[in-house]
Structure 1
Amino acid sequence: MAGARTGAGAEVGPRGAAGLGADPVRELMAEHRELCERATHPLEIAALLEEAGLGSTAVGRYRHADVFSLAEELFARVPRRPSAGAPPPALGQDPSAPRSRWHRGRAGAALLGALLLPLVTVLGGPSGPSGQAAVGTAVALVLAAWAAGGAAERAARWVRHAGRIQLRTAGTLAQFRARMRPVLPVALGLHLAVLALTSLTALAVLTAVAPRPGRAGAGGLLDEVVQRAGPTQWVAQAALGLLIAVAAVLRRCGRAGAALVGLLAADGLGAGLSVLRSCGLLPTGWAAVPGALTALAAGAVAAVLLPYAWVALGHPRAHR
């Protein structure tokens, strides 16, 4: 087998110098063979080596100047094995299809629960005419979040597409991560812009159909539309939009389990807070404000998923 390549590109003979073994890279090949067989780009191998604590000093033992050049050699020397020995489907059937449908069904139910949070958490809050107005506004915001769901999926596809482009063009793992840093904020910002537009449209239709008593013509239609939802409801809608968009990105980038857990956690937290409010176990001041429980439930889960997604998207294997 040809000698290992150094960082300067020179060839090292099979006997090497400084008393090193004949092929010091072979031990890494044996230790990480399964990953190397499944890798689609050297950056995936470089990320694993960095996670294993292989720094620039340790790389020298393998006659390379940096982790990326070592990963390139591992990628070149280990043959690809896409299926990892999985048995072929019988008679053209996909044995994973029922399981995939089950996962999609759970994900769809969790997403529906998240979309309904503005309505679920407002029920049992304010009473009388103000309560009825809050319910109408919540219905409009639910429809707006549903209408913006397609934008979340498109943003998620764009994130994955951008990652695949950087896999082909980035020269090092550090360069790949640097280029991917602005991708998630841009995708989330675009989705929030679409969500704001659909929310304003839904509230405008609601205002035209059922104007609030004493507000007709006061300040113009735009002012009435903006004031239709209170500041807390707008914060809740933004938190919900972030949650849905981050979950969509995680699903597209191989983290469907984390996305499902996040959506279920938001659903459970929102429902639990509503029950606690109904039982009088929450302060009546802030808990009765429309949107407060949605903002708390969706915002808390989104605050956990956002840094997780930020780190996950820095790994090349998330963009296969």
Structure 2
Amino acid sequence: MSGRQRDVDLPGAPSGAAVRDVVASDEEWLVTAGAPSAPDVPGARGSSDESGGRVAVDPVKALMHRHRELCDRAVDPLEIAAGLEAHGVTDRTVARFRHRDVFSLAEEIYARVPRDGETSPGVPAVKLPKAQASWAVLALLPGAVCAAAVTGLRLTEARPHLAATVAVLGVLAIALSLRLALGRGPLHTPHAWRTTKGTRAWTCWLLAYALLGDGLLGSALTGGPHGWPNGDLDSPWPVPLASLTALTLSCAPAAWCAHLFAVRARRRLAAGRTLKEFAASVRPLLLGVFGLFLCALGGLLALCGTLLDEPADPAAYAGIGALGALLLLARLLTVHGFRHAPAVVLAAAGAAEVTAVASVFAGRLPGCSFLAVPIETVVGAWGPGVVPTLACGAAALVLLVHATRTLARASAHAHHGGTP
């Protein structure tokens, strides 16, 4: 029986009346499907009044029919609770069924669903994501490959042609290692939730701008670009090798932070008894994990800058930190099934960087010098790194506010088959 076609006897309706093709929300449907609302409803479901007419149906059974696919594939009551909440069922609505919250209703539904090979409808333990050596090692791979590529560039900087070959091979190796790292573990997205081509394209642009954008913008403001980008700090177009290395090394703390968030959220989902209680406990967890990642990324930036003997550039470091925060939040939302907001925000951040660079070149046209004035003023005050800092920082702030709302839902943490 589908969710849009049901045969339910309504209280007070003529005998044999049916409800078909109802397009209202679950909360409205639960009220019209026979959920008891008066305090003096007889204890037996489906009881009859003095005239012999049917007063109420079994509302829980009707709900099970409406969400039959969810109930059949659920591995624990928490997944049913998450699914009900995703369909608009609230604690206020559940009170009509003489249940204190969505969790207790989900436990009854789970106990009443027949399953082969089970002798008792006991509630199983919550399945928590487990840390595995495979994805833990793969998360370290991008940073290791990038460190090797940077070392090769430093060793071949006196031979430009060989250095160019090392740079091309290094970029390809880093891209492959990133694909492997994101293909498994807590940062892996299920097949149905994979990012779109547009999202991947804007992500690649943001990473490319982190590598070459500051040098390109700074050179454009001085009448360039001149020459080719390289790792020489005295070059008019330098490449921030320390920032790039730190960003790739941050894949490991990002994976561990995502794993920590998933495990703690599932535990709090098991311990919570109301949706509000669960949401109130998950928001501080999300903010704490997000802050932990920022601290790890900041430490990696300082460490790589020291090892590669690059002077600290607060604006550039802030831009890399904002980019890392944006990518982590976008990946967390995508992993938990929310793809639209990350796609829009990543596109907005990338478009802002494109506009900044394009406005400088457009300002060279006759009569269009005013187009470059805002960027010239901002960059003259804080340096080229202020552009990714503002673009990615604002985008990350928007995603953080969105994540505190969406990732605090029980439906965001339901078990989804092969999802780690």
Given that residues 115 and 146 in structure 1 are in contact (C-alpha distance below 8 angstroms), is that contact kept between their aligned partners in structure 2? no
Instruction: Give the corresponding residue for 2:243.
Output: 141
Q: Mapping of 1:149-298 within 5 angstroms?
A: 149-207=251-309, 225=311, 228-230=312-314, 232-255=315-338, 258-259=341-342, 262-280=345-363, 281-282=371-372, 283=374, 284-287=376-379, 289-298=383-392
Report the CA distance shift for 1:182/1:25 in structure 2 as closer, same or farther (over 3 A).
same
Report the CA distance shift for 1:192/1:65 in structure 2 as closer, same or farther (over 3 A).
closer
| 2:404 is equivalent to residue 310 of structure 1 | yes
Counterpart selection for 1:12 from 43, 50, 54: 43
Instruction: Give the corresponding residue for 1:66.
Output: 101
Report the CA distance shift for 1:297/1:134 in structure 2 as closer, same or farther (over 3 A).
farther
Instruction: Give the corresponding residue for 1:93.
Output: none
Q: Normalised by the size of structure 1, how large is the TM-score?
A: 0.69
The structure with more helix, counted as a fraction of residues? 1
Structure 1, 138-147 or 54-63: larger mean CA deviation: 54-63
What percent of counterpart residues are identical? 33
Amino acid at match of 2:211: L
Given that residues 195 and 339 in structure 2 are in contact (C-alpha distance below 8 angstroms), is that contact kept between their aligned partners in structure 1? no
Instruction: Give the corresponding residue for 1:222.
Output: none
Counterpart selection for 2:61 from 26, 37, 58: 26
Rg bigger for which structure? 2
Instruction: Give the corresponding residue for 1:116.
Output: 208
Given that residues 316 and 385 in structure 2 are in contact (C-alpha distance below 8 angstroms), is that contact kept between their aligned partners in structure 1? yes
Q: Which runs of 4+ in 1 moved over 6 A?
A: none
Please provide the CA RMSD for this pair. 3.8
| CA distance in 1: counterparts of 2:204 and 2:387, whole angstroms | 17
Given that residues 78 and 270 in structure 2 are in contact (C-alpha distance below 8 angstroms), is that contact kept between their aligned partners in structure 1? no
Structure 1, 240-249 or 67-76: larger mean CA deviation: 67-76
Report the CA distance shift for 1:55/1:312 in structure 2 as closer, same or farther (over 3 A).
closer
Q: CA deviation at 1:229?
A: 0.3
Instruction: Give the corresponding residue for 1:76.
Output: 111
Given that residues 81 and 410 in structure 2 are in contact (C-alpha distance below 8 angstroms), is that contact kept between their aligned partners in structure 1? no
Q: CA deviation at 1:287?
A: 4.0
Given that residues 74 and 80 in structure 2 are in contact (C-alpha distance below 8 angstroms), is that contact kept between their aligned partners in structure 1? yes
| CA distance in 1: counterparts of 2:194 and 2:87, whole angstroms | 32
| CA distance in 2: counterparts of 1:60 and 1:196, whole angstroms | 48
Instruction: Give the corresponding residue for 1:36.
Output: 71
Q: CA deviation at 1:103?
A: 5.0
Given that residues 152 and 244 in structure 1 are in contact (C-alpha distance below 8 angstroms), is that contact kept between their aligned partners in structure 2? no
- Deviation by residue 1:15-55 (Cα, 9 ceiling, x = unmatched): 45887414122332233333333444434444555566655
Given that residues 119 and 135 in structure 1 are in contact (C-alpha distance below 8 angstroms), is that contact kept between their aligned partners in structure 2? no
Report the CA distance shift for 1:195/1:185 in structure 2 as closer, same or farther (over 3 A).
same
Report the CA distance shift for 1:181/1:27 in structure 2 as closer, same or farther (over 3 A).
same
Report the CA distance shift for 1:58/1:174 in structure 2 as closer, same or farther (over 3 A).
closer
Instruction: Give the corresponding residue for 2:161.
Output: none
Report the CA distance shift for 1:304/1:13 in structure 2 as closer, same or farther (over 3 A).
same
Q: CA deviation at 1:72?
A: 2.3
Unaligned runs of 5+ in 1: 5-10, 82-98, 211-224
Q: Secondary structure at the match of 1:64?
A: coil
Q: Normalised by the size of structure 2, how large is the TM-score?
A: 0.54
Report the CA distance shift for 1:51/1:155 in structure 2 as closer, same or farther (over 3 A).
closer
Q: CA deviation at 1:271?
A: 2.6
Q: Higher relative CO (CA 8 A, sep ≥ 6), structure 1 or 2?
A: 1
